[in-house]
Every structure is written in structure tokens, then in C-alpha cells.
A and B are shown apart, each in its own frame.
Chain A
Amino acid sequence: MRRAAVNGVLVVLAVALQLTLVDRLPLPGGSLPDIALLVVVALGLTQGPAAGMLAGFFAGLGLDLTPPASHLLGESALVLCLAGYGCGRLSGWLGRSAPPRLLAAGVVGAVIGETLQATIGMIVSDPGVTLPAVRHVLPVAVLYDAVLSPVVLALVSVARRQPGARTPSGAGRDERGLGPAPAAKPARPVSLRLGALSRDERPASFRPGGARGGPHPRAFGPGGSRNMRRPRLRPDGGGAVRSGPHQGLAARPVRLRLGASRARGLRLRRAHARGTGGLR
């Protein structure tokens, strides 16, 4: 609830800032950054698809309804909702791992959002959105967005780190469908590193059992079985890491072990105490 309130405040601030301040700045290039889009992208990337799409829909609705808007009602809502959802999916796919990749994803999200906006404007044949106009506006807008995207991402992460704002990735992660995670869990750092450690196991292991009818398709096969995955957690890693089908993950074992050694030990101990196998 608290996180929803923080998100709501962020969205309102973004829309107000966009219309009353940013759009009046005399920036060169004939185009301006889209703060609302950047905030929605950042929310999607840091909090997942559901938060992203809700923030996007309501930010877009605000932009559609606040007076100087002359485009079709619902246009921005559609664009920003899709952008927020897409960035949430993108973050799940990236595994919320390394900051550089998160930043890159932010830029990609902004580019896609701007392009989507122009495309929808052309589809509904908005007289202001013509091909020459897009050619003039889009590159500069994307440039401004790319410059501002890391700043907005950092601000949104700071807003999220407020006490009480729990990370979504920390909830119910290592429980294997045994119920929700304890609230007092040290959510952020652990979940961040775990994201890097086990990103392609997550669809199988983090979904509460049976909620969507079994594990993710990617978890099938030899690499998906529990017997094969356990050796990966050995301190020396070695060749066992390469046993699964996930070659991309095996390419950087050193960093993973360094990054998550403490958390993993903690998890292992907890898992052993419960009798479940390792990280799963």
C-alpha cells in the first residue's frame, strides 16, 4: 500500500512537472524530454510489470485530461501503460541485475515509448504528428530522454528505498510455494544479487507452486531438475556450472560467487533447515 502511495505521488509529480515546467523550458532542438514517460519506465524497470502498467495508465490519463492536451483522450494512457508493462517484462528478463544493464534498459524503454507515442499519433492521424514532424521531434526527444533516464531511475530507486517500501523481487522468492516471504527479510541487497545469480531459474523457482500450473517451460530438461542444479552451489563451482543448458550464466561464475556469497550461504542454511534443495 505504501509503495502504491509513493508511486502515485511520483506519477502526479511527473505529470505536473512535465506540463507546468519541462514543456516551457526553452531547450534547443525543438523538442523536450518526456518526464512522465521516464518515470513510468523507471517504475516498470524497478518494480515490475504490474506497477509499471498501473503507473503508466494513470500518468497517461492525467496527461490526457489536464487542460492543454489536445490529442485523443486515452492516447497517452495507452502508450504509457504499454511502456510500463514492457519495461516490467524487460526487467524480469534482465533479472534486475547490473546497474549498467538497468540504465541501458531505461534508455531502450524511453526510445520505445517515444516511438510508440509517435506511431499511435500517426495511426489515429493526429494532424500534428506527421512523418516530417516525427523526423524532427523524435531524435532530439530520444536524446534528451537518454540523458535524463539515469537521473530519473536513480530518483525512483531512492523513492523506493524509503522504509516500508518493500521490493517486489524480495517477496516469496525462496519459498517454493510455501507461502509468502517473511516481511522482516533483508529484502534489497539480497534480492539484487540473487537476481544476478539465478536469473533463469527464477521463473520455475519463484512462482508459487501451482499458481500457474507448474514450472516455466525453460525449467524443463536436464538443467531444470533439482539434482542437476545442486552442484552449482558448491563453493568451488567448477565444471558443474556448465552442466545446465544455461551457458550464458556460466560465462561469469567468478563475479557471481563474489557478489552473493553471503546471501547464498544464508539461503543454503535456511534451505537445509527446511529440507529443500539449495536455492530452489
Chain B
Amino acid sequence: MRDTRRTRVVLGMLLAAALALMAIDYLGGSSPLRAAGGAVFGTAERAIGSVAGPVAGFFDPGASAAGSSARVHGLERQLIRLRARLHDEQLSRAEYAQLAKLLQTSGRGGYRIVAANVIAVGQGYEQTIALDIGSSDGVRPAETVLNSAGLVGTVTGVSPRVCTVLLATDPTAVAGVRLAGSGQLGWVTGVGKSLADPDLLRLHVLGASRVLAAGQRLVTSASVGDRPYVPGVPVGVVTRVENGAGALTRIAMVRPFVDFTALGVVGVVVAPTRRDPRDSVLPPRPALGTPARPPASPSNPPGRSAGG
């Protein structure tokens, strides 16, 4: 297959097709294509992901096959099989524990959830995940996703068996928050991969004269119609207050409660709570301020920098 004229014609057609797809998507006309792709590829991915998920955690170097006799070989195979089964058992127990905690959390907040497993993670610069539930399970776009620790993200795309979740760490995700206790309002956005530590959120608090301190905790505040975020979901802890002189908002970095690198069982809130749970879903506060006071805070005293 050399580089002939035909090859170049085909190349030109493929590039034109790709550019056309990008243009169509940019103008927002690609939803049927995406729906079809989600239905076909998503279902296949769901099948593969349910197998590959356990494999991702199964990196055991002890399973080499260097046997000389058939018996050693057979025993080794049996060992590997038993080890895999043991691992499955442990995995399902871990999932069970996650699910139990998730149900406790959602019970405290009064959210009605559908539990789901993460089956795929977005590639490259994306901060998205795919879950193994879809519109056939009652999931609709712009519903809140949480796990036992707190806010995970919001549903952006739904196909029959799979849905896409935009993580709270994505730079396009904006969640309205309320500082626990003081009730100040603000919003958090993700920083994407632009920081060395991508799992941080950036908090903006309305009102430049507000006092922010490391260790303050955040919950989501109510959205219109409880979409895309239901109120009261724990978000994170303020770790560092940035010196935003002259800005209209106070800015701080927030360490989320959720470990975004190890998402397993999550829940999609399909029916919001009838009353705002306020701060009741937050986990009990640990021994005062020990984990949430980085060494950076003394050099950057909270609330003392010149604002507005």
C-alpha cells in the first residue's frame, strides 16, 4: 500500500470528513450522531468495562508460568484461577463497602439515587467518566453524581445503557457552593490539568471583603430546579487562600472530599430531596484542623490580604 494518488484522495476525503464532523459538532448539530455512537459503542464498552474494571486492579506479579511438567502447569493455572476468584471476592466486598457508605450518605441527605459503576475514563485532557447506567435506568442529563465522600460531578450525556459524567475537576464544570457554617455563597470550578495536582478545585466567593480560612468546608448550594447540582452535597475543604488583590471575588483552592483517581461505586441522584439538608451530609469534623492546614497558609494569611 504505497502512497499513490488514490491514497491521497482518500486521505483528503477522510480529513474533510473529520473537519466536517468537528464543524457540525461545534455548531451543535451532532446529537443524533453522538446518540447513535453512545448506543452502539457505549453498550460494547459497558460489556468490556465490566471485565476490564477488575483487571485494572489486578496487577499481581506472582503469576508467572515457567513450569516444566504438565502438573506444575496445571497447579499454576489453578493457583491463578483461585487468586483471581479471591481477588473478585475482595473486589466485590470493597464495592459492597463503598455502596453501603454511599447509601448512608444519600440517606443523610434524603437523596434518591441509582448506584452505578465507573466503566471508562475520559482520555487525554478530559475529566469525564462513563457509568454503566443510562436512560433505561432513569438517568437524565444534568443530574448530580456523588459517591460516599461527596460531589463527583454531573451527568452530561445519556445513552440507553451508559451515561457520561462531567467531573467537578473539569475546567468547564461550575458548581454553586455554600461555606458550611457561615453560609457564604460562591462557586467552584475545576483546574483541569493545568496544575501539577489536578485534583483541586478553585473556589470563588462572592464579596471581596469576605473572610476565608483554610479548613472551611463546602457543600453545594441549591440550583434552579435542583439541576445540575442538588443542595447539601459535600464538596471539599479550603486548603489555601489566594491573594486576589483587586478582584471582585475571594479565591481559594479547595481539596475535594472525593478521590477522583479512584472512583468506584457512585450514585446518580434521580430524585432530589424535598428539603435542603444544609450541612447535615458533611462527615463529622475530624480533630480540629489537623489535615487541612498546609504550611502555605501562614505565609498567606487568610483574610488579611487587601481586597476591593
Contact = CB atoms under 8 A, between A and B. Distances in A.
Interface of A: 16-21, 23-26, 30-32, 34, 47-51, 53-54, 57, 60, 62-75, 77-78, 81-82, 85, 88-89, 92, 117-118, 121, 124, 126-130, 132-133, 136-137, 141, 168, 206-207, 211-212
Interface in B10-25: 10-11, 14-15, 17-22, 24-25
Nearest to A81: B14
A78 B162 contact: no
Contacts of B11: 49, 53, 81, 85
Contacts of B163: 67
Given A20-B53, A124-B26, A49 B3 contact: yes
Interface string B19-37: 1111011100010011011
A73 B3 contact: no
Given A70-B126, A128-B126, A48 B193 contact: no
A15 to B, nearest CB: 8
B196 to A, nearest CB: 6
A78 B19 contact: yes
Give the most central of B125, B163, B193: most A CB within 10 Å.
Answer: B125
Contact of A73 (B7, B22, B42): B22
A206 B3 CA distance: 12
Contact of B18 (A60, A66, A89, A126): A60
Q: Residue among A26, A31, A49, A74 with the most chain B CB within 10 A? A: A74
16 contacts: A16-B44, A23-B120, A23-B123, A32-B123, A34-B123, A48-B2, A53-B11, A53-B14, A68-B129, A82-B15, A127-B172, A128-B126, A128-B172, A128-B192, A133-B193, A137-B125
B126 A68 contact: yes
A78 B18 CA distance: 5
A20 B45 contact: yes
Interface of B: 1-5, 7, 10-11, 14-15, 17-22, 24-26, 30, 33-34, 36-38, 40-42, 44-45, 48-49, 52-53, 55-56, 118-130, 156-157, 159, 162-166, 170-172, 192-196, 198, 261-262
Contacts of A34: 123-124
Given A68-B121, A128-B125, A136-B195, A21 B56 contact: yes
The 6 A-B pairs at the shortest CB distance, nearest first, are namely: A65-B37, A74-B21, A78-B18, A132-B194, A73-B25, A48-B1
A48 to B, nearest CB: 4
A121 B125 contact: yes
Contacts of A49: 1-3, 7, 11
